[in-house]
């Protein structure tokens, strides 16, 4: 069946269905023949015919009042004008036929182009997977995939119910997309209420598609009843008979229909693009059907798309008893656990989800997702092996495995994965992209000699490409061939300028080669200072500029360059919190930027003797990497927040403390502190969380972090709350001052004393 998405009103009665290719024995069209039997005389199909994705195997009608013996001379032609009555109709709906018919009709729903469709048929039920087939050069992310269950109930009408939708990397909630897929496929031939579709008197539409094609009138379908019979593997058989026995739906189908009717109003809002109102409807439904897993899943899929709701969603899931036949919370729960840092529980949840998933290709996507959320290279390797065992064409998984094998030092195995990607591609440009990407990965892993051969292989497919030339030049510089490498970098820069391509990455590598390898600091500064501020490499370039100016003795210029690094880092963090896409450039450079900020702090403290400037750099470093609590270059970092303490200069909240003695507490307490910190950052107005966190920090002796928390609360506190907080801030400052004085850090102690005086004003 095909057609445009259905209108919200009821469809016109029995629209005409398109007749597709027919059985090979009848290429010219639908052919009828006379049928003489116990029911009487009538017409029947001479050969099977295809309508849309349906294969009509048998169609038999009878002519009222006409029984044998009768004059049947003239054959079909004599009786085709008479109105017959349908007696028997047998239709087959095969999984392989749907997989070929559906993709072009689903274009743009799950993926930009036509997706791949996989179907497994069971009795009265089917598992559907719609996914974006990975192209060989799309190696960056786990591509979208959607899976859901379909239940079929058949009487005079045929009812199809969508349930248990789940997805990976989707643009909307899984239920919304699953309903949209089925609505697109059924088109105007079904009416929808939530996730339930009703195809009224489908026999009428089929007969109007077939019989007029053969020159006969459409037969009456009065008294016809349907039932579903799955007696063939991967094929649904739909049987319609006059006065036939009613089909017996499965318990699972009846339960799915009941849930769909409970959630009908919310599902309509969800499909209409209003998830907030849909969530309200689901919450009301949850009051009527408490802890129902399908309702909880609808709510969780909405909340999982909103940062800060992770704990609440996981709590809701924990309260809900699992009642479905598979782990309906699998992918959503697993992703949420990984997002809040519970890696072990996330891995266990992914394992359960993969084991219970009935769609193999969706299970492969879950393995890719589990690998992406794992920090252990060996675990990552196992997940990717499982993904590729199920779907060898998963190019993103194969690339991820190559990079992970580099981390494990298995360069030959990693090269095998890249060669597999190369063999799967058919265009020179694709092969160029693969080998260029491989060269960058090998170089990042420190295998510079091997990287040169990979870049050279890329240039065999597309010569004189700036990106590969720059990569080859950088790799040669690292192997000691500085002159040749620098020459190639300069050539790459000229080509990039001529073709109006970004030059930031080339200038950064060229500047490093000039300054660090050839000792020409002014030339290196000139190159990196030419990188535009909006380029992804700009923040690191300004850091190197500060380093090299410091080495030249230009202390003012170095200080300005380091200040620019701090300002850019602060802006990118703020943009990232707001979801700005241009902030993603910071993700891969966080470690390098933190190191530059640490060096900037050391420079300000030892070369320019500006303690507050040093602390401002340290504050930004801690903001970028909150887990950085160990001693680094003799500096210990404490928790930093947005709001400054009254009367204390910006940057004060991270202070020098080379001899931390704070007890760490038990692992459970440390985990609780991390959890409460995340919750406080998500909602600073939650006083219960703030009070519990401050109590734990105080008991652990983590005074710097306690001061940061208290100062954040103090600035916006009401008078009565301020009266309670001020003594605690004062006591914390006093402890820090005494600790600094006893450790001989008089400059630091002076800052604490100044803050105490400002607090008393």
- Is the pLDDT at 215 greater than 90? The verdict is no
Q: What does residue 738 show for φ and ψ, rounded to 5 degrees?
A: -60, -45
* pLDDT at residue number 136: 58
Q: What is the arithmetic mean of pLDDT over 672-689?
A: 74
595 CB-near residues (< 8 Å, 6+ apart): none
Residue-wise pLDDT tens digits, 25-54: 333 467 777 777 666 777 888 788 888 788
Q: What is the arithmetic mean of pLDDT over 552-560?
A: 91
Share of the chain above pLDDT 90, in %: 36
Tell me the pLDDT band of 137, cut-offs 50, 70 and 90: low
Residue-wise pLDDT tens digits, 105-133: 999 899 888 899 999 988 788 999 999 87
- Pick the last residue of a domain from 206, 231, 258: 258
- Is the pLDDT at 262 greater than 50? The verdict is yes
- Is the pLDDT at 504 greater than 70? The verdict is yes
Residue-wise pLDDT tens digits, 603-632: 998 888 888 888 888 888 887 776 543 333
Q: What is the arithmetic mean of pLDDT over 311-334?
A: 73
Q: What is the arithmetic mean of pLDDT over 710-721?
A: 74
Query: Across the chain, which distance is largest between two alpha carbons, in Å?
Result: 120
Tell me the pLDDT band of 178, cut-offs 50, 70 and 90: very high
- Is the pLDDT at 7 greater than 60? The verdict is no
Cβ count near 264 (within 10 Å): 17
Tell which residue, 484, 417, 415, 425, has the closest CA to residue 450. 415
Separation between Cα atoms, residue 502 and residue 3, nearest integer Å = 46
Domain at 749, CATH number: 1.25.40
- Which position has the higher pLDDT, 689 or 522? 522
265: in domain: no
Tell me the pLDDT band of 644, cut-offs 50, 70 and 90: very low
Tokens 């996981």 locate to 314
Confirm if 654 and 638 have CB atoms less than 8 A apart.
Answer: yes
Q: Which range has highest mean pLDDT (5-14, 97-106, 199-208, 662-671)?
A: 97-106
Q: At what angle do helices 504-512 and 521-529 cross, to 10 degrees?
A: 170
The secondary structure of residue 410, as a DSSP letter, is -
Q: Which two tokens stand for residue 516?
A: 């660090």
Residue-wise pLDDT tens digits, 363-392: 999 999 999 988 889 999 999 999 999 988
Tell me the pLDDT band of 642, cut-offs 50, 70 and 90: very low
Phi-psi region of 12 (alpha: psi -120 to 50; beta: other; left: phi over 0): beta
Q: Which domain holds residue 170?
A: 19-258
The secondary structure of residue 245, as a DSSP letter, is P
737: in domain: yes
- Is the pLDDT at 329 greater than 90? The verdict is no
The region of weakest confidence among 501-505, 629-633, 717-721 is 629-633
- Is the pLDDT at 474 greater than 90? The verdict is yes
396: in domain: no
Separation between Cα atoms, residue 597 and residue 654, nearest integer Å = 13
Q: Which range has highest mean pLDDT (152-161, 308-317, 444-453, 677-686)?
A: 444-453
* pLDDT at residue number 682: 65
- Pick the last residue of a domain from 258, 276, 302: 258
Count of the separate structural domains present in the chain: 2
- Is the pLDDT at 307 greater than 60? The verdict is yes
- Is the pLDDT at 580 greater than 80? The verdict is no
105: in domain: yes
* pLDDT at residue number 80: 67
Q: Which range has highest mean pLDDT (243-257, 480-494, 741-755)?
A: 480-494
* pLDDT at residue number 631: 32
357 CB-near residues (< 8 Å, 6+ apart): 147, 326, 327, 330, 363, 366
Tell me the pLDDT band of 477, cut-offs 50, 70 and 90: very high
* pLDDT at residue number 341: 83
Tell me the pLDDT band of 326, cut-offs 50, 70 and 90: very low
- Pick the last residue of a domain from 258, 291, 326: 258
- Which position has the higher pLDDT, 471 or 613? 471
Tell me the pLDDT band of 640, cut-offs 50, 70 and 90: very low
Q: Which two tokens stand for residue 207?
A: 């007969």
* pLDDT at residue number 184: 93
Separation between Cα atoms, residue 686 and residue 689, nearest integer Å = 6
Tell which residue, 262, 264, 251, 266, has the closest CA to residue 292. 262
457: in domain: no
223: in domain: yes
Write the burial class of residue 537 (CB in 10 Å: 0-12 exposed, 13-18 middle, 19+ buried).
buried
The region of weakest confidence among 89-93, 322-326, 354-358, 550-554 is 322-326
Separation between Cα atoms, residue 309 and residue 335, nearest integer Å = 13
64: in domain: yes
The region of weakest confidence among 4-13, 90-99, 735-744 is 4-13
Tell me the pLDDT band of 319, cut-offs 50, 70 and 90: confident
The secondary structure of residue 220, as a DSSP letter, is B
* pLDDT at residue number 284: 93
* pLDDT at residue number 496: 93
What average pLDDT does the structure give for the chain?
A: 80
* pLDDT at residue number 741: 73
Tell me the pLDDT band of 14, cut-offs 50, 70 and 90: very low
601: in domain: no
* pLDDT at residue number 663: 42
- Cα distances (Å, whole numbers) of residue 583 to 341, 358, 474, 653: 22, 38, 26, 25
Which pTM does this prediction carry? 0.69
Confirm if 76 and 87 have CB atoms less than 8 A apart.
Answer: no
- Which position has the higher pLDDT, 452 or 688? 452
């Amino acid at each position: 069946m095909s057609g445009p998405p259905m209108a919200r009103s009821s469809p016109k009665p029995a629209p005409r269905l398109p007749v597709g290719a027919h059985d090979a024995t009848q290429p010219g069209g639908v052919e009828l023949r006379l049928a003489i039997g116990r029911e009487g005389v009538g017409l029947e199909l001479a050969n099977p015919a295809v309508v849309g994705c349906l294969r009509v195997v048998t169609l038999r009608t009878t002519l009222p009042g006409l029984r044998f013996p009768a004059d049947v001379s003239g054959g079909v032609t004599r009786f085709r004008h008479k109105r017959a009555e349908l007696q028997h109709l047998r239709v087959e709906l095969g999984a392989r036929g749907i997989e070929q018919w559906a993709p072009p009709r689903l274009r743009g729903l799950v993926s930009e182009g036509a997706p791949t469709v996989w179907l497994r048929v069971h009795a009265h039920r089917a598992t559907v997977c719609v996914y974006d087939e990975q192209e060989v050069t799309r190696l960056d992310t786990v591509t979208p995939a959607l899976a859901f269950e379909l239940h079929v109930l058949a009487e005079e009408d045929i009812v199809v119910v969508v349930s248990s939708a789940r997805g990976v990397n989707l643009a909307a909630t899984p239920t919304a997309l699953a309903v949209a897929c089925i609505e697109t496929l059924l088109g105007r031939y079904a009416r929808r209420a939530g996730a339930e579709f009703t195809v009224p008197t489908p026999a009428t539409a089929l007969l109007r598609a077939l019989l007029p094609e053969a020159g006969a009138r459409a037969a009456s379908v009065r008294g016809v009843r349907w039932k579903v019979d799955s007696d063939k593997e991967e094929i649904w058989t739909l049987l319609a008979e006059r006065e036939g026995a009613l089909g017996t739906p499965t318990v699972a189908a009846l339960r799915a229909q009941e849930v769909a009717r409970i959630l009908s109003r919310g599902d309509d809002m969800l499909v209409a693009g209003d998830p907030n109102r849909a969530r309200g409807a689901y919450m009301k439904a949850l009051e009527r059907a408490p802890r129902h897993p399908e309702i909880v899943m609808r709510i969780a899929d909405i909340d999982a798309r909103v940062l800060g709701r992770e704990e609440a969603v996981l709590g809701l899931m924990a309260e809900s008893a699992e009642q479905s036949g598979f782990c309906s919370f699998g992918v959503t729960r697993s992703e949420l656990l990984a997002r809040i840092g519970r890696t072990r529980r996330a891995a266990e949840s992914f394992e359960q989800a993969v084991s219970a998933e009935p769609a193999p290709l969706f299970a492969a996507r879950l393995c890719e997702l589990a690998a992406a959320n794992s920090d252990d290279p060996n675990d990552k390797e196992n997940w990717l092996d499982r993904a590729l065992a199920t779907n060898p064409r998963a190019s993103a998984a194969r690339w991820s495995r190559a990079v992970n094998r580099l981390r494990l030092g298995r360069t030959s195995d990693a090269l095998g994965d890249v060669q597999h990607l190369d063999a799967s591609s058919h265009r020179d440009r694709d092969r160029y992209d693969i080998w260029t990407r491989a060269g960058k990965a090998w170089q990042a892993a420190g295998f510079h000699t091997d990287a040169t051969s990979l870049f050279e292989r890329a240039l065999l497919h597309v010569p004189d490409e700036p990106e590969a030339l720059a990569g080859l030049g950088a790799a040669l510089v690292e192997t000691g061939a500085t002159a040749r490498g620098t020459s190639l970098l300069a050539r790459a820069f000229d080509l990039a300028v001529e073709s109006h391509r970004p030059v930031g990455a080339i200038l950064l590598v060229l500047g490093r080669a000039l300054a660090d390898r050839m000792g020409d600091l002014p030339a290196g500064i000139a190159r990196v200072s030419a990188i535009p501020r909006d380029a992804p490499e700009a923040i690191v370039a300004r850091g190197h500029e500060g380093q090299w100016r410091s080495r030249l003795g230009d202390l003012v210029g170095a200080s300005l360059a380091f200040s620019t690094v701090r300002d850019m880092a602060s802006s990118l963090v703020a943009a990232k919190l707001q979801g700005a896409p241009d902030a993603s450039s910071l993700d891969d450079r966080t470690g390098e930027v933190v190191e530059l900020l640490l060096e900037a702090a050391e420079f300000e403290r030892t070369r320019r003797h500006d303690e507050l400037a040093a602390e401002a750099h340290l504050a930004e470093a801690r903001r970028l990497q909150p887990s950085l609590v160990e001693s680094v270059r003799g500096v210990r970092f404490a928790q930093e927040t947005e709001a400054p303490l009254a009367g204390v200069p910006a940057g004060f909240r991270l202070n020098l403390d080379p001899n931390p003695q704070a007890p760490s507490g038990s692992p459970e307490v440390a985990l609780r502190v991390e959890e409460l910190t995340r919750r406080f950052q998500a909602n600073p107005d939650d006083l219960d969380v703030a009070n519990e966190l401050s109590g734990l920090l105080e008991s652990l002796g983590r005074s710097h972090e306690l001061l940061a928390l208290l100062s954040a609360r103090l600035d916006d506190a009401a008078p009565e709350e301020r009266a309670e907080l001020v003594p605690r801030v004062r006591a914390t400052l006093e402890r820090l001052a005494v600790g600094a004085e006893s450790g001989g850090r008089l400059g630091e102690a002076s800052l604490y004393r100044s803050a105490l005086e400002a607090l008393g004003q």
